[in-house]
Chain A
Amino acid sequence: MDVIVVLEWAFDAVLGLGLLWLAWRTLNSPDLFKAIVLFISFGLLMALAWVRLNAPDIALAEAAIGAGLTGALLLAALARLRTTTDNTMPAQLPAGSWFQRGLLIVLLSGSAAGLGYAVWILPSHTSGLSMAVTANLDVSGARNPVTAVLLNFRGYDTMLEMIVLLLAVLGIWSLGGLPPRPERPAVAVLDTFSRFLIPVFILAAAYLLWVGADAPGGAFQAGSVLGAAGVLLLLSGWRPGVRLMQWPLRLALTIGAITFIILGVLTLLYEQQLLAYPVAQAGRMIILLESLATVSIAVTLAILFLGESPDPEEKK
């Protein structure tokens, strides 16, 4: 028993120090490519930390999004950056004089003490809202408490999040899209490998979506796995056709937000409360919302990676 406790503490200590060390190396390693690779490994260690904190739902999301998709976005942006800027620019040195940096460190140490103290004085035992969630889990339509919170109790968070995703795409499109990535012909290994992987990705996404009602998983995890499959397709040279980039794409991008808004208005009319589902239909409504949200999240993430505006004339 004691050995286990000591081992757990040792693991936590190594993980915590590893996180801080990787974050520091990410932020000040001279080579930006190295910094991004370190950031991806930081994301993977974060996923381990989520598991240690009994948050498997977040661990899945972090591994797929935090480590995978953010890393892909950053690497693609770095490749584009190298075509527009001169590579000789030193990117490693902190700006400002020694005095300014010293002042910054003093101010941040003050904030560190304040933040640390604020965390320290919190009561060490509280159940938060978990009692309320457990008490209402039966009428929520989902048996996984995190899914119940995301899609039912705080459904408006998820609705607004779908809109945020849409706004990010609109923002990139209204900037005229990203400059094209330096194209490389797809390597045969990548080409063959992605043919094998993508069906597995689709299967994994479907499983995550379905299991999300009862166990860790759900729309975000499934959507990000599907989005990663889309990124893989784009990397191996596939491009959506011009006709696909018009209304089918726009429908896929907006279907999640649209369904949320329609259901929100309907529940507002019939139940007098935003996204308060009737108990008998709650389970079905959650599955419907989650499936359509998965499609939107996946397409949005892949489009964010592609970054090209759908209208060729707007690019000019």
Chain B
Amino acid sequence: MSHAFAYALVGAGLFLLGLYALVAYAHLLRKILALNIMGSGVFLVLVALAKRTGDAEPDPVPHAMVITGIVVAVSATALALALMLKVSGKTGQAVLPGRHQD
């Protein structure tokens, strides 16, 4: 049991926190934040599991995939924010149509 496993569990926790917020909150900006936190959780699991090499250097392949993932996440976030602004420009509210805010 190394500290890498502890980080992997934190990553799983972040993923689930993000998933909860993604479903539970109606505001689109909060959903985008939730997606980003879910992504960070996945990255943390990947990199933590890459460190199961003992004292040797960690596995570089998941590292490269996570760097790619971070850049893809930022471009997806930018597109999602643009879509959110379109929705709020049309409806005056940053929530998906058909969902009512409490």
Chain B hits for A91, CB < 8 A:
27, 29-30, 94
CA distance A131 to B97 in the complex (A): 52
Kindly state the separation between the CA atoms of A276 and B76 in the bound complex, as whole angstroms: 29
- Residues of B contacting A243 with CB < 8 Å? none
Whether the Cβ atoms of B67 and A307 lie closer than 8 Å is no
Within 8 A of A (CB), among B1-48: 1-10, 12-21, 23-27, 29-30, 32-34, 36-37, 40, 43-45, 47-48
Question: Can you spell out 30 A-B residue pairs with CB atoms less than 8 angstroms apart?
Answer: A12-B7, A16-B7, A16-B10, A32-B29, A32-B30, A39-B36, A46-B44, A55-B50, A61-B67, A61-B71, A73-B77, A81-B94, A84-B89, A84-B92, A91-B94, A94-B25, A95-B99, A95-B102, A108-B20, A122-B52, A129-B59, A130-B60, A130-B61, A133-B59, A133-B61, A148-B60, A150-B68, A168-B75, A172-B78, A175-B83
Q: Using CB atoms and an 8 Å cutoff, list the residues of chain B in contact with chain A.
A: 1-10, 12-21, 23-27, 29-30, 32-34, 36-37, 40, 43-45, 47-54, 56-68, 70-79, 81-86, 88-89, 92-94, 99-102
Which residues of A are in contact with B by a Cβ distance under 8 Å?
8-9, 12-13, 16, 19-20, 23-24, 26-28, 32, 35-36, 39, 42-43, 46, 49-50, 52-55, 57-58, 61-62, 65-66, 69-70, 73-74, 77-78, 80-81, 84-86, 89-91, 93-96, 101, 104-105, 108, 111-112, 115-116, 119-120, 122-130, 133-134, 145-146, 148-150, 153-154, 157-158, 161, 164-165, 167-169, 171-172, 175, 178-179, 218, 220, 224, 297, 300-301, 304-305, 307
